[in-house]
């Protein structure tokens, strides 16, 4: 996604910072008083300020376990484009552990950036401990802050091994912090796909979106649509089941 296009496509929030405006703002009392004093009590029109509107953060969590091997390379290219295009994008990989790769993806040359990522991540193509790894992410205040008020996109098949209780707990906590929480699974590229596993059934009511993650073009279109509201994932999948 091109930089300006991505920034414009992200959901926005009102910042606590303000800017000067000529209409539809609140009275800037301090500036108005200074102006009144400087012109001996005669001020031609009220001086106004309004709160800025800024794009929300984008947080992408990429599953690099063995079951996602076919998609990892394309997901990282997408992540590089997101970091280059949005000033407040954060990217993590997870498999059996968590790795923050944002700094590496800030390198403008994509091949160099991905080479740095390859050196950082040491759990490629292994198992998946999605629940415990996401809980570890949330346990670090600096990392957890990245999710607060953000559009959070998880790229994973969500094939959690064993008990899914930790995954459900992690997704619920992420949802409580995020502005929008989306799961993109390549399994949804199969027209017969249904969120039928115990893990997916448990987290479906918490997700804002459950979408097809098998196509980079489709994922790009989805990220560029994040500012537009959509029916909740549970509503969509109940409708088609």
Q: How confident is the model at residue 2 (pLDDT cuts 50, 70, 90)?
A: very low
**Token couple for 223:** 């990220």
Q: Against a cut of 0.85, is the pTM above it?
A: no
84-103: average pLDDT:
93
What is the model's pLDDT at position 24? 62
Query: Regarding predicted confidence, which is higher, 79 or 239?
Result: 79
SS3 label, residue 185 = strand
What is the model's pLDDT at position 42? 60
Nearest to 80 by CA among 43, 45, 105: 105
Count Cβ neighbours within 10 Å for each residue of 96-108 and write b for 16 or more, e otherwise: eebbbbbebbebe
Whether CATH 3.40.50.300 fits 56-240: no
Cα-trace Rg, the chain:
22
SS3 label, residue 86 = coil
| Residue-averaged pLDDT of the chain | 86
9-38: average pLDDT:
61
Domain boundaries, the chain: 14-54, 56-240
pLDDT tens for 103-155 read 999 999 999 999 999 999 999 988 888 999 999 999 999 999 999 999 999 99
Residues 136, 98 contacting (CB under 8 angstroms): yes
pLDDT tens for 164-212 read 899 999 999 999 999 999 999 999 999 999 999 999 999 999 999 999 9
């Amino acid at each position: 996604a091109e930089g300006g296009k991505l920034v414009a496509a992200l959901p926005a929030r009102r910042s606590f910072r303000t800017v000067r405006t000529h209409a539809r703002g609140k009275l800037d009392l301090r500036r108005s008083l200074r102006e009144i004093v400087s012109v001996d009590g005669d001020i031609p029109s009220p001086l106004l300020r309004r709160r800025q509107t800024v794009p929300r953060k984008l947080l992408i969590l990429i599953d690099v376990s063995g079951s996602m091997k076919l998609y990892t390379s394309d997901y990282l290219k997408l992540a590089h484009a997101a970091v280059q295009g949005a000033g407040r994008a954060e990217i993590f990989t997870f498999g059996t552990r968590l790795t923050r790769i944002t700094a590496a993806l800030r390198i403008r040359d994509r091949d160099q950036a991905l080479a740095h990522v390859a050196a950082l991540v040491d759990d490629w193509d292994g198992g998946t401990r999605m629940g415990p790894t996401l809980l570890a992410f949330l346990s670090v205040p600096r990392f957890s802050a990245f999710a607060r008020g953000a559009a959070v996109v998880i790229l994973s098949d969500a094939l959690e091994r064993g008990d899914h209780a930790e995954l459900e707990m992690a997704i619920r906590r992420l949802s409580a912090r995020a502005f929008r929480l989306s799961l993109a699974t390549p399994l949804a590229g199969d027209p017969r796909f249904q969120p039928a596993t115990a893990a997916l059934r448990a987290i479906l009511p918490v997700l804002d979106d459950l979408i097809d993650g098998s196509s980079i073009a489709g994922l790009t279109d989805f990220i560029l649509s994040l500012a537009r509201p959509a029916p909740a994932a549970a509503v969509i999948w109940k409708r088609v089941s």
